[in-house]
Structure 1
Amino acid sequence: MKKRLTLVVVFGLFITSNAFAGSGSAYLPHFFSEYHSSGQKRPVIYLTNITGSAVDVTVTFFKHDGTVLTETDTTDNYNGGIIRGSSNATGYKDYTAPTGTTVVFTIPAGQQSTTYIEIGTINTVHQGYALIEWKQTGNNLVALIAEAAEYDSAKNDRSYHAINNGLPF
Structure 2
Amino acid sequence: MKNTAAVYTQSLEKTGTSYKKGKKVYAYAYAILDGEKYYKLGTDQYDGRYITVMHSSAVYSKNLKKTTSSVAEGKKILTFGRTTIKNKKYYQTGYNSFISASNVDGTTRTLKKNAYVYKKSKGKAVRYKNSVLKQNSQQQTYGSAVSIKGKKYYIIGVGKYVAKSDFK
| Fold match by TM threshold 0.5 | no
Q: Comparing both structures, which one devotes a greater share of its residues to strand?
A: 2
TM-score for the superposition, normalised by structure 2: 0.24
TM-score for the superposition, normalised by structure 1: 0.24
